[in-house]
């Protein structure tokens, strides 16, 4: 792998995104009003958004026999995302997500693990980690993430961790270990609350357990950023007409890291991340409406009525 700003580890997947009037009950069916197939996976999403915003990106995922020469593979190559170290299964298919969203923007997820079973037998990518400035651990195999995160942290890389919908796969001891070896913990309000419950800690106590920063996204209510020895920082949502919330969190993480790796202050990182995610929700699919950095800065400038001229980008 080449030298990169950001190495992303975790799922690259095919997404089936469905709009439903209601979630079905056991032994019943529900009508799907709209269904589309998109490129996805939390790691894939973060990698694509970060690349489109100007970072040099590497991506390592377990992919299946159906990924070679797919539109998704060609798209990643066109973006110059380094996928040379992908873990490829010759027997299983690529992980696939089935995402159902109701009119209240509540979601249900089903996930086909497929080729991701190969994480268990795979060595962590030490050489690729060594060539990166930062490592983002997205949804994926807990043991693989723990080992990769610990190695990257020991190599003084910036390590961010987002368990996402795979949080239920982590034991209490898993969480203790991965959190103790990361600089930034990302999660939505439900995930951060559940982590606090499992570890029997408040947010300020989590900060003492490892991460220097906790970024909690709140959907339509914006986000809150916690930093050691500082007051929590509230970041307002950028109002827009939301069509599909899928992928908003991944884009927030990518955009936050984009600005953080350019040595911008925390408020700037949060506001830029909120702005980028506002574009994502305007369209169905996690990678279909990614703004350019100039588009994002213009909307950020308009939303907060302050100049973005001094932002490092």
Which of the residues are catalytic? Answer: 250
Burial string for 151-162 (b: 16+ CB within 10 Å, else e) reads bbbeeebbbbbb
Q: Is 161 helix (H, G, I), strand (E, B) or coil?
A: strand
Distance CA 55, CA 262 (A): 10
Pairing assessment for the beta strands 132-137 and 4-9 based on DSSP bridges? parallel
The 8-class DSSP code of residue 290 comes to P
Distance CA 24, CA 259 (A): 41
The 8-class DSSP code of residue 147 comes to H
DSSP alpha helix (H) spans, 6-123: 42-52, 71-78
The H or E element that residue 234 is part of is strand 233-235
Beta carbons of 59 and 47 less than 8 angstroms apart: yes
Of 293, 306, 167, nearest in space to 236 by CA: 306
In the sheet that holds 4-9, the strands lie side by side as 57-60, 4-9, 132-137, 158-161, 184-188, 213-217, 223-227, 233-235
Which residues neighbour 229 within 8 Å (Cβ) at sequence distance 6 or greater?
none
């Amino acid at each position: 792998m080449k030298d990169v700003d950001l190495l992303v580890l975790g799922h690259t997947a095919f997404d089936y995104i469905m709009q439903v009037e209601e979630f079905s009950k056991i032994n019943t069916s529900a009508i799907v009003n709209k269904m589309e197939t998109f490129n996805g996976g939390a790691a894939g999403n973060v990698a694509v958004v970060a690349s489109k915003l100007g970072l040099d990106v590497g991506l390592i995922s377990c992919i299946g026999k159906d990924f070679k020469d797919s539109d998704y593979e060609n798209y990643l190559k066109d973006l110059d995302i380094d996928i040379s170290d992908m873990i490829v299964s010759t027997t299983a298919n690529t992980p696939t997500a089935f995402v159902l969203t109701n009119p209240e923007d509540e979601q249900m997820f089903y996930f086909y693990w497929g080729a991701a079973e190969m994480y268990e037998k795979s060595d962590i990518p030490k050489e690729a980690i060594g060539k990166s400035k930062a490592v983002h651990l997205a949804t994926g195999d807990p043991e693989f993430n723990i080992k990769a995160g610990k190695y990257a942290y020991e190599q003084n890389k910036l390590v961010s961790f987002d368990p996402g919908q795979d949080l239920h796969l982590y034991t209490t001891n898993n969480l203790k270990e991965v959190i103790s070896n990361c600089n930034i913990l990302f999660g939505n309000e439900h995930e951060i609350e559940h982590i606090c419950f499992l570890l029997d800690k408040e947010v300020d106590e989590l900060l003492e357990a490892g991460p220097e920063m906790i970024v909690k996204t709140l959907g339509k209510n914006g986000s809150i950023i916690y930093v050691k020895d500082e007051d929590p920082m509230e970041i307002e949502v950028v109002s827009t007409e939301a069509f599909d919330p899928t992928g908003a969190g991944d884009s927030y993480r990518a955009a936050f890291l984009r600005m953080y790796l350019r040595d911008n202050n925390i408020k700037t990182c949060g506001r830029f991340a909120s702005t980028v995610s506002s574009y994502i929700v305007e369209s169905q699919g996690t990678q279909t409406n990614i703004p350019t950095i100039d588009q994002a800065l213009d909307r950020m400038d308009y939303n907060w009525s302050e100049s973005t001229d001094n932002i490092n980008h």
